[in-house]
Amino acid sequence: MYALSMTQTLTTKLKIVSWDEQPTKQFDDGSKTTQAEVTLAEGTDGLTSGSSAMLLYYRPDGTSTYVSLMRVTATLEGRSGSFVLQGEGTFDGTSAVGSTAIVAGSGTGDLAGITGTSHSTSTHADYPYMPLTLTYDLG
């Protein structure tokens, strides 16, 4: 007998506990690159914590684009473990918008085999929380 997999959607938020961002290069035109380490916690809807490494490029006007890897610990549908989200996003001066995909083979524990994507849109009004919509399949 085959188990049917079913795509689920979770809309939640994680608290930004720390954000350590350091410049890596500064350019004559006012643009720069930075590296950030972000710690997330206090999730109550399945995602419980996370840590993210980001590389960011800031234009002279303060807008930016970034790439990220985020490891998330979760309990989804009674199954516990962790997985890694790989993504990219932008900041237009008002909103940060990012999209990620679960890295194949990154699921641990009961979440081994998880697949899916996530999306986040946040403004300064959301701080210190990061809204996140995760669409996933436990396989």
Contacts of 13 (CB under 8 A, 6+ apart): 43, 45, 126, 129, 130, 131, 132
Written as one string, the DSSP assignment of 34-47 is: EEEEEEEE---SSE
Question: According to the model, what pLDDT value does residue 4 have?
Answer: 55
Q: Which two tokens stand for residue 8?
A: 């689920």
Share of the chain above pLDDT 70, in %: 96
Phi and psi at 72, nearest 5°, equal -120, 135
Spatial CA neighbour of 121 closest among 101, 100, 136, 104: 100
- The answer to whether residues 98 and 87 touch, using CB atoms and an 8 Å cutoff, is yes
Question: According to the model, what pLDDT value does residue 43 have?
Answer: 83
Confidence class of residue 3 from pLDDT cuts 50, 70 and 90? Answer: low
pTM for the predicted model, two decimal places: 0.92
Domain boundaries, the chain: 15-137
Query: Tens digit of pLDDT for each residue in 93-132?
Result: 999 999 999 999 999 999 999 999 999 999 999 999 999 9
Please tell me the CATH code under which domain 15-137 is placed: 2.40.350.10
Query: Tens digit of pLDDT for each residue in 47-88?
Result: 999 999 999 999 999 999 999 999 999 999 999 999 999 999
SS3 31: coil
